[in-house]
Structure 1
Amino acid sequence: MTPHAPTATYRLQLQPGLGFAAAAAAVPYLASLGVSHLHLSPVLEAVPGSTHGYDVVDCTRVRDELGGEDGLRALAAKAREHGLGLVVDIVPNHMAASVRHNRPLYEVLRDGPSSPYARWFDIDWEAQGGRVLLPVLGGPVGDELAALEVEGDVLRYYDHVFPLREGTRTLPLPRLLDAQWYRLAWWRLARTELNYRRFFTISDLIGVRMEDPEVFEETHATILRLLREGVVDGLRIDHPDGLADPGGYLQRLSDATGGRWTVVEKILEDDEHLPAAWPVAGTTGYDALRHLDGLFTDPAGADELLGLFRRFTGVTADRGGEWAATARRAAHRVVTHELAAEVDRLTREAAALSAERPELRDHAPWALRTALRELLVRVPVYRPYVAGGVDPETVLTASDAADAKAAFTVAEEARAVDTVRNLALGRLGDSPRHTAFRARFAQAASALRAKSVEDTAFYRYTPLLSALEVGGSPQRPAVTAEAFHAYCARVQRDWPYTSTVLSTHDTKRSADVRAGIAALSQCPAQWEALLALVTEQTARGGAASAPDPQLAWAAWQTVAGLGPADPERLQGALLKHAREAGLFTTWTEQDEAYESAVRDFVASGPCGPPGEEVLRFMADLAPHVRANVLGAALAHLTMPGVPDVYQGTEHSYRALVDPDNRTPARFEAAREPGTLSAEKEALTKTALHLRREHPEWFGGASTYEPLPAEGPAGQHCVAYARSGHVVVAVTRLSLRLAEAGGWQETRLALPPGDWTELLDPGRQFSGHTRVAELFRQSPVALLVRA
């Protein structure tokens, strides 16, 4: 068994409004749910006021705003009194580039490459004349000189504080600026001039060179000490794809922790597997989320919604009408614009490496840059790995190279594609410089995939919003029962202690919102009629029209899943949607007229009388949304793996993308008996207590056995047994089921013995049970052998 493996975890999103003391006060309630561990967001010192903690500034200290190390120890002690352990999130890939708060970075900027901390950060000292570009100014430096002020040994710019290089304090300001180890610059220059690796395209987060053993030891000393002293029991690793050597890092971490339970935030595509050589328990669970969501999505209805989406919006293929074209167009934009600095660094390194061999020389920089872009956009996974997972040889194929060469008009110049591909695949040498290029290419591919798919294409291709989650497959949103069972069997065999999730701090919509939207896949014709009605009502009633049909489509589906919401909340989510899509407004080039039109439309349409029509429509779908909510929850809590329950989701929990889903949690039992919230809480407690009391039924030595239902509605019942002691059954696509005449004589053959229904105490079943009777009170059933 994996050391300290949880039976279930409960995710707490810590922040100044929810620190260690508040978490400790909630421990009795959280223990009553049946989890074994609390899963804490990052606990090390972060930028003051941070609501997430991933912007770490000091790896040696527990965050004061949360209560410091004493507060963490008190939380751990309180948790242990109630039989709970702690799992914490750590961030090895990056730190906040907040100079005034990040002391190691401050010293690097003061002392330059000679600083003992210079090895910490992934800085290209050969670029920018040997200085670090800091894109912090609100305008060109000439326009900001009046705001720059020398005070003692520091340079101030509003809230920013920068160190001064020794001996430069008395220089005139222009000379002083030129004499530093850094270059203060207009924030817009980050896109093309930045010379440090960052997290995706966020210049406020600077990459850390975790491949250096000394950097690993210095940045992990506090977390490892807390593990040794029993304060912490397990780890979640944020964004390992960003590291130069993820496998090496994870091995070093496993050695240092003694193999403690550790999961990694690795995003897997449908046919991709976690590298088998990684010494971890599994992923953070987005692959499970994709299969759970897909199980409750109707494939035929999803196809119909795609056709309706195209008709309603009138979109072309590359602006959202076809997934592959949309994703490729988004990738081209991101690699050309947002990641221009990263591609330029790769271009310089490719040129230097090819110059070492006479047969590879004379590639023009533009040709290498073009080759890099064309190959990067064709990487179909976040990051390829040789040791299990996806082999690079099967990612950057000869066919990909041929397609990439189509961007060239001269065949001889297109040979740059072969050079870059061979460098990326490690075919031209294994020197440290070659290895570094391969790692940097993979790091850029990961950033490109995240920004172009998750943060762009997912906001353009929107036939079914519930399919647009990290690790999702919007072009194939549905998952068959057979595919779900096959996935569960593989997880039980290969990664029995992996984490599984339905909602996280990063999901664009909580599971309950997605459950409501997924119900639309069962009634696309009725949804089409409703859209025609609310569109006509919006126009007739004098409400502000949608600024574009794609935004309107997303707005109406959001209301369907979210339910009643105040305009400000929905406006914030839809403005983020529009900016991420980047079709009419962006984060950096905001179109005020367009965004004002979005606000007006949301207030008078989705949050006005037309929106009430959508709410009435969803009220009629309530039984089917209930089936989706409870079915996904029960499957999540009983399938192979370790379920992670996001704060508040034991009840009805409807939240949109961050920051909406990161508000401080409230811990209290559901107060209204008979509601879906109370029903979901009871289900959650029952399943979690069962896991905690009988871990052997669900752990590494347990079994998973699909149980097919027989009869006219057999495809609507998804059932399985765990270790011969537990049977789980859920209703799939309940609206389609009702339209087809219900369960009729469909039966489920239970394993031998008598079985007690835990969700409806007093009921027992055995043998070939009529499914209609099994689901008489609820669309789900949780049975244990009597």
Structure 2
Amino acid sequence: MTAERTAPAAPTSTYRLQLQPDFPFSAAEAAVPYLASLGVSHLHLSPVLEAVPGSTHGYDVVDHARVRGELGGEDGLRALSRTARAHGLGLVVDIVPNHMAMSPRHNRALWEVLREGPKSPYARWFDIDWEAQDGRLLVPVLGGPVGEVLGELTVDGEVLRYHEHAFPLREGTADLPLPELLDAQWYRPVWWRLARTELNYRRFFSISELIGVRVEDPEVFDATHAKILQLLHEGVLDGLRVDHPDGLADPTGYLARLHEATGGRWTVVEKILADGEQLPAGWPVAGTTGYDALRHVDGLFTDPAGAGELLGLYRRFAAPQTDRGGDWEATVRRAAYKVVGHELATETDRLTRVATRVCATSPDPALRDRAPWALRSALQELLVRLRVYRPYGTADAAAVVTEEAAEEARRAFVVPEEGGAVDVVRGLLLAGDGPGADEFRARFAQTASALRAKSVEDTAFYRYVPLLSANEVGGDPGRPGVSPDGFHAYCARVQRDWPLTGTVVTTHDTKRSADVRAALAVLTECPQRWADLLAEVTRDGAGAADPQVAWAAWQTVFGLGPADPERVRGALVKHVREAGLYTSWTEQEPSYEEAVAEFLATGPCGAPGERVAAFRTSLAAHVRANVLGTALVQLTMPGVPDVYQGTEGEYRALVDPDNRRPVAFPPADPDEKDAVTAAALRLRARRPDVFGDSATYTPLTAEGPAAAHCLAFARSGEVVTAVTRLSLRLAAAGGWRDTVLPLPPGRWADVLAPRREFTGHARVAELFEGQPVVLLERVGRVGADTGGH
């Protein structure tokens, strides 16, 4: 064990660990020596506070005052911190300010609210609309209408029980007959299906098991952050990752309060930025968790022309009509209409009630006499046209809720005069005042973020599938490619504005790991060969009743490579339920799902799948180039790279829970990606000034016939990264030939192969001799005697 030393204030790199009962603090502690040797500066822990028993993710917090017992409790966390510090590592932890678990028997604060109602001191914690449902909190847990399951409800002392659920009884009601007892509570147990339209509490997206928390209230903030702040101030923790700030009523105010309370500790936020959207400049954070970086890195290895050709082939194969996922914008719009009117119907109703109340009590006569149905329609029409997750304040709303969107929304009204409701809603967003105006803007923003996440990430990504690697959180499947110039411009902005932001390529929430996406991107370099292969395997009877799902399934097995068929089946069942076209999570269609499973067994996971595997093997060199290139670019570009557990080596995973499986430390069979990752991380640790907030980023441009296939940049004039992009196209065009990369002055040693050195105009074919990537470090001072190539 090395001598104890203080961890750096801001990370040079982080390593994400998914804590769960099968991987507690003690397991993380055992992995510390290996992770320290890898070169990371901080461990990045999933949520550590008390969660629902058995939770494999920890985002269902039930007690903010305690460290989770199933992980080893506070003693286990402190032991992990001590061991980490002894190896020079700090700890960054994920916090969940937006919601808690809707589990009264585990959530003591919620238990008290159910027992005492709105007069409970904990009532201010939760975002409950007490004016709805006759002042009773709807609890959607019953398996059917209450009259059908009444016999399954029992009273046990002062507790009402329904199978595994338990609820407190209001004082003095325990001896009432059951029907009267139910009517006498501050809550109302109901059939779970009523949650879609009747719920009167804010939740996380459309997940009724997670209830919204009002951290905008200073007392609630203090109570829900005291333990985390204590651990920060005592040096157990060093930094924070903030989960889903878009769900909060006032993200800007929350982050300002958090910044002050932590003393300015390194903090990143899980903010999903649309293409071209900027993080609010006034937020006192280091930046985002890195999905914007993911989009730009992935785009580098995607051929835009080939992606367009693949789209055309996909349309002919699977989706001749735009309503079946053949056009990205149309797919998103249709998904948004479905979500806002179905999954988020209760949120839309609450927003409409607030808008109606604001209009009715406004001092401005122009806002009065607006029918609730017209306001609801106006809200829906504006919400589905937002291209970002949410606006922040009235100034941002003007750029988000544009006049163009308003004009489109007006045209959706059959009676033009009723379209004036659009102007009323937009006016409230841009400059409205009076009673309730601030609440309206906050709830509009919260509903918008839930709608964007559900309609894009959880619906449209499963309906529009020409290139699965583009369907990633923060991605833009309509424009999957990123040019080298576009990437360099992005990196320059990051280094200038958010140099300590997070960067990721794989997370616990990615639909597919970076290495699976890297393989799929190769298909944009050979779209016709892919289409020909599918024609061949489907001609042999391995087709499916739903060609759209078939296209996605064949891509899934290509990207994943040889794998347990059950992993593929699990991912594809989730795929068709999220798409919601023929089956869904709440309205499952067993016959359709059985047909999908049968197709998988006889097609992609059967004998025809072997031909797909052979095709992937024939492209192995190009998959390798993308895998290594993606890794090295992310690890050396501006920002603080986060390495997801196990991804230092080749890591093939699908959507959760497939990507949350425990991994072995150290890896059993390290590969060349392990070597590239460790070399880059150790270089960052050894030369933090080269990559930190005062570093520089300089694009380097290759010269010659294959220049477009070399992406290169320098960091602070001391380190050079160069990777191969679109290697299959490169090979088809004749290789590197006389292409050269002009290096900055001086001698440059290959970090991955230290005996190699380069100077001046390095021949790219020699740079990439042996590997499709190269990481160079300056040797000595500029102007010293130079040798080598």
Normalising by structure 2, report the TM-score: 0.97
Return the alpha-carbon distance in structure 1 between the equivalents of residues 667 and 61 of structure 2.
34
Structure 2 counterpart of 1:711, one-letter code = G
CA contact (8 A) 1:46 1:58 kept: yes
Q: What CA distance in whole angstroms lies between the structure 2 residues aligned with 1:38 and 1:649?
A: 14
**Does the 8 A contact of 2:691 with 2:715 survive in 1?**
yes
1:761 paired residue number: 754
Counterpart residue identity of residue 620, structure 2: A
How far did 1:318 drift?
A: 2.3
Cα shift at 1:379? 1.1
Q: Distance in 2 between matches of 1:528 and 1:546?
A: 16
2:478 aligned residue: 475
Task: Tell me the CA shift for residue 419 of structure 1.
Answer: 1.1
Aligned to 2:288: 283
1:424 CA displacement: 2.2
Deviation per CA, 1:248-289: give whole Å up to 9, x if none: 000000000000000000000111000010000000000000
1:438-477 aligned at under 5 Å gives the runs 438-477=441-480
Q: State the match for 2:42 in structure 1.
A: 37
Give 1:665 deviation, angstroms. Answer: 1.9
Task: Specify the alignment match of 2:683 in structure 1.
Answer: 690
Q: Does structure 2 conserve the Cα–Cα contact (< 8 Å) formed by 1:3 and 1:260?
A: no
Secondary structure of the corresponding residue to residue 101 of structure 1 = coil
Write out aligned runs for 1:620-635 (5 A). 620-635=618-633
CA distance in 1, matches of 2:154, 2:393: 51
> Offset at 1:412?
2.2
CA-CA distance at 1:411 after TM superposition = 2.2
- The residue identity in structure 1 corresponding to 2:366 is E
2:167 is matched with which residue: 162, 165, 180? 162
Q: Distance in 2 between matches of 1:278 and 1:777?
A: 45
In the alignment, structure 2 segments of 5+ residues that lack a partner are 1-6, 780-789
AA partner of residue 178 (structure 1): D
What is residue 115 of structure 1 aligned with on the other side?
Answer: 120
Residue in structure 1 matching 2:409, options 386, 396, 404 = 404
Structure 1 segment 773-784 matched on structure 2, within 5 A: 773-784=766-777
Any idea what SS the aligned residue of 1:773 has?
helix
Query: How big is the shift at 1:408?
Result: 1.5
AA matched with 1:381: V
Q: Distance in 1 between matches of 2:208 and 2:609?
A: 39
1:365 and 2:369 correspond: no
State the alpha-carbon separation in 2 of the partners of residues 423 and 110 from structure 1: 37
- One-letter amino acid of the counterpart of residue 150, structure 1: V
Query: 1:386 offset after TM fit, Å?
Result: 4.4
8 Å CA contact 1:59, 1:220 repeated in 2: yes
**1:332–1:9 distance in 2 versus 1, CA, 3 Å:** same
Report the counterpart of residue 708 of structure 1 in structure 2: 701
Structure 2 match to 1:209: 214
Residue aligned with 1:715, SS? helix
Q: Which residue of 2 aligns with 1:599?
A: 597
Secondary structure (helix, strand or coil) at the match of 1:710 reads coil
Q: Which amino acid aligns with 1:351?
A: T
Q: Deviations over 1:109-142 (max 9, x none)?
A: 0000100000000000000000000010000010
User: What is the aligned counterpart of 2:381 among 364, 374, 378?
Assistant: 374
Q: 1:614 aligns with which of 609, 612, 615?
A: 612
- C-alpha distance 309-474 of structure 1, shift in aligned 2 (>3 A): same
How far apart, in 2, do the equivalents of 1:132 and 1:213 lie?
Answer: 23
**SS of equivalent residue, structure 1 residue 214:** helix
Change (3 A) 1:356 1:430: closer
1:346 aligns with 2:346: no
Q: Which residue does the alignment assign to 1:749?
A: 742
Q: Which residue of 1 aligns with 2:558?
A: 560
Distance 1:635 1:228 in 2: 34
The answer to whether structure 1 residue 151 and structure 2 residue 149 are counterparts is no
Two-structure CA RMSD over aligned residues (Å): 1.1
Shift of 1:316: 1.2
Query: What residue identity is the alignment partner of 1:770?
Result: R
Which of 66, 70, 82 pairs up with 2:87? 82
**Amino acid of the residue matched to residue 517 of structure 2?**
R
- Whether the 8 Å contact between 1:698 and 1:723 is mirrored in structure 2 is yes
Q: Displacement of 1:315 after TM fit?
A: 3.5
Q: Is the 2:392–2:445 contact (alpha carbons within 8 Å) kept by the matching residues of 1? A: no
SS at match of 1:221: helix
Is the 2:358–2:434 Cα contact (8 Å) retained in structure 1? no
Q: What CA distance in whole angstroms lies between the structure 2 residues aligned with 1:424 and 1:221?
A: 34
The residue aligned with 1:73 is 78
Partner secondary structure for residue 414 of structure 1? helix
Deviation string, structure 1 residues 186-221 (Cα, Å, up to 9, x no partner): 000000000000000000000000100000000000
Secondary structure, aligned partner of 1:489: helix
Deviation at 1:609, TM superposition (A): 0.8
Cα deviation for residue 398 of structure 1 reads 1.8
Q: Deviations 1:527-586 (Å, cap 9, x if unpaired)?
A: 01100111112x1xxx6x423001100000001100011221111100000000011111
* Residues 626, 670 of structure 1: alpha-carbon distance in 2 compared, 3 angstrom cutoff: farther
Matches within 5 A, 1:106-145: 106-145=111-150
Distance 1:546 1:49 in 2: 37
Q: For the residues of structure 2 that align with 1:24 and 1:423, how far apart are their CA atoms?
A: 52
Q: Which letter does structure 1 place at the counterpart of 2:729?
A: R
Q: Provide the rounded CA distance (Å) in 2 between the counterparts of 1:716 and 1:198.
A: 47
Question: Do the aligned partners of 2:750 and 2:757 also contact (CA within 8 Å) in 1?
Answer: yes
How much has 1:653 moved relative to structure 2? 0.3
The one-letter code of the counterpart of 2:182 is: L
Distance, in Å, in 1 between the alignment partners of 2:645 and 2:150 is 47
Determine which of 308, 314, 317 is the counterpart of 1:312.
317
* Residues 128-160 of structure 1: per-residue CA shift (max 9 Å, x gap): 000000010000010110000000000000000
1:740 partnered with 2:747: no
1:384 correspondence with 2:391: yes
Distance 1:339 1:351, change over 3 A: same
Task: Give the partner amino acid of 1:736.
Answer: R
Query: In 2, distance between residues paired with 1:241 and 1:315?
Result: 36
* Code of the aligned partner of 1:362: D
Equivalent-residue separation in structure 1 for 2:56 and 2:320 (angstroms): 37
Query: Contact 1:139–1:186 at 8 Å: present in 2 too?
Result: yes
Aligned-partner residue type, residue 555 of structure 1: A
SS at match of 2:185: coil
TM-score, normalising length: structure 1: 0.97
User: Is 2:496 aligned against 1:503?
Assistant: no
Instruction: State the 1:383 CA deviation.
Output: 1.1
Q: 2:521 corresponds to which residue? A: 518
Partner residue, 1:674: none
How far, CA to CA, are the matches of 1:360 and 1:231 in structure 2? 53
Contact 1:18 1:665 in 2 (8 A): no
Q: Give ranges in structure 1 of 5+ residues lacking alignment.
A: 672-676
Whether the aligned pair in 1 keeps the contact of 2:381 and 2:409 (CA below 8 Å) is yes
In the TM superposition, residue 670 of structure 1 has moved relative to its aligned partner by 4.8
Take 1:156 and 1:228, find their aligned partners in 2: how far apart are those partners?
41
DSSP-derived class of the 1:666 partner:
coil
CA deviation profile, 1:305-343 (whole Å, cap 9, x unmatched): 000110001341122010111000000000001111011
Partner of 2:575: 577
